[in-house]
């Protein structure tokens, strides 16, 4: 198989899963830590920007607290994470220091991406750390995250971080070698080396949750790859235990499964599509679907059929086609109650119905991210 050519590659995000950092006992896999840090340090010394998204806080805490199985309740997971996060960071600080490098801990939750100001603050912080040659060690803030603000897994966190900092490549390391054409171990099952589009068939190949100590499986990696592809970056799924896996991937060796990028959304539209909290739904007719998808138009009141949810001006909503599919997300210029009054109306009628007209559009095309 030919070498892969990634052309310009200056900034990379590497995610490593819990199962790759801990043994089944919950104890830390020191050899795996050392191999990972050695490769990242070498790439950093080569001049690449390196960001590490690491799982393992809960797993490390399990070993320290003597748990024999993963905690089931949120408070127990948070307690384990509180203990384990310190162990993780200490390990990374110790080993990176052996190569003369400084690390900085960054803990994030969904709210840090959903709020535009916090999103930009996080972006500026990470950029400053890279400018200062600090290696960001990033994890979800498991000690405070609950279901409402939980990113859910570090595959998606890694993709959102990669989009946040305009990375060129995202590497997802796990105990999974790549995306298989069938269930691993099934006769005839093979690694799919390259993917250019995530179709329904590709999504169907993804299973559920992974190992006993992690929360992610192939399904979350496919979700992460989708975010990365629309952010204009290469994504690779590979096995963490493969010798020198990161350096070999960067060199173009055809390991694992590579997802090639699609059309790149601008930064603001990436935030709308993948980070902002969706506060409601707007249902539109076929004419509006055509106007948005084929003609690059804004969403006008005349194309709106119905509204679901209570949202305010400036919130992000999901735009739903007549067949029930989400075709876009966008920032609305009017509140839900106002849109209910002007739906189906012409632009010239907005002032007559509401008594005022602040905007011609329900969602301006500059604030609309298509699927």
Binding site feature residues for substrate: 55, 142, 154
> Collapsing DSSP states into helix, strand and coil, what is residue 247?
helix
Task: Find, among 66, 63, 60, 99, the residue nearest to 81 by Cα.
Answer: 60
Task: Find, among 178, 235, 243, the residue nearest to 39 by Cα.
Answer: 243
> Collapsing DSSP states into helix, strand and coil, what is residue 124?
helix
Residues annotated within a binding site: 15, 55, 142, 154, 174-175, 215-221
Residues 6 or more apart whose CB falls under 8 angstroms from that of 41 comprise 96, 99, 101
Residues annotated within a binding site for ATP: 15, 174-175, 215-221
Tokens representing 206 are 């993804």
Residues 6 or more apart whose CB falls under 8 angstroms from that of 183 comprise 189, 207
Helix %, strand %, coil % for the chain, to 5?
Answer: 40, 20, 40
Tokens representing 344 are 């189906």
Task: Find, among 330, 337, 346, the residue nearest to 308 by Cα.
Answer: 337
* CB atoms near residue 127 (< 10 Å): 14
Q: Which position has the token pair 């020191």?
A: 30
Q: Is 153 exposed, middle or buried (0-12, 13-18, 19+ CB in 10 A)?
A: buried
Q: Is 164 exposed, middle or buried (0-12, 13-18, 19+ CB in 10 A)?
A: buried
For residues 308 and 281, give the distance between their C-alpha atoms in angstroms, rounded to a whole number.
5
């Amino acid at each position: 198989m030919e070498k892969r050519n990634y052309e310009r590659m200056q900034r990379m995000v590497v995610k490593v899963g819990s199962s790759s950092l801990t043994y089944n006992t919950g104890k830390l896999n020191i050899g795996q830590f050392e191999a990972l840090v050695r490769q990242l340090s070498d790439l950093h010394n080569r001049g690449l920007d390196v960001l590490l998204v690491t799982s393992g806080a809960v797993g490390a805490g399990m070993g320290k607290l003597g748990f024999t199985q993963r905690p089931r309740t949120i408070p127990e997971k948070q307690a384990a994470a509180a203990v384990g996060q310190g162990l993780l960071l200490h390990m990374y600080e110790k080993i990176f220091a052996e190569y003369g490098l400084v690390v900085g801990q960054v803990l994030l939750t969904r709210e840090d991406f959903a709020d535009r100001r916090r999103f930009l603050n996080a972006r500026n912080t990470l950029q400053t750390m890279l400018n200062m040659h600090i290696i960001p060690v990033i994890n979800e803030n498991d000690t405070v995250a609950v279901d409402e603000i939980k990113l859910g897994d570090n595959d998606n966190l890694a993709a959102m971080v990669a989009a946040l900092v305009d990375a060129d490549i995202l590497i997802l390391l796990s105990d999974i070698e790549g995306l298989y054409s069938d269930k691993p171990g099934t006769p005839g099952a093979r690694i799919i080396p390259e993917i250019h589009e995530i179709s329904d068939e590709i999504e169907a190949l993804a299973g559920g949750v992974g190992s006993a100590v992690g929360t992610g499986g192939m399904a979350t990696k496919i979700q992460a790859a989708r975010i990365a592809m629309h952010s204009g970056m290469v994504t690779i799924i590979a096995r963490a235990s493969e010798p020198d896996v990161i350096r070999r991937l960067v060199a173009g060796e055809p390991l694992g499964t590579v997802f090639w990028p699609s059309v790149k959304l601008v930064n603001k539209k990436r935030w709308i599509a993948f980070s902002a909290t969706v506060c409601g739904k707007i249902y539109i007719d076929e004419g509006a679907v055509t106007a948005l998808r084929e003609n690059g138009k804004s969403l006008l009141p005349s194309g709106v059929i119905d509204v679901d949810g209570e949202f305010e001006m400036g919130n992000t909503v999901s735009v739903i086609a007549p067949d029930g599919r989400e075709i876009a997300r966008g920032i609305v210029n009017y509140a839900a109650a106002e849109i209910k009054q002007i739906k189906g109306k012409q632009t010239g009628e907005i002032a007559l119905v509401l008594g005022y007209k602040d905007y011609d559009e329900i969602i301006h095309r500059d604030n609309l991210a298509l699927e």
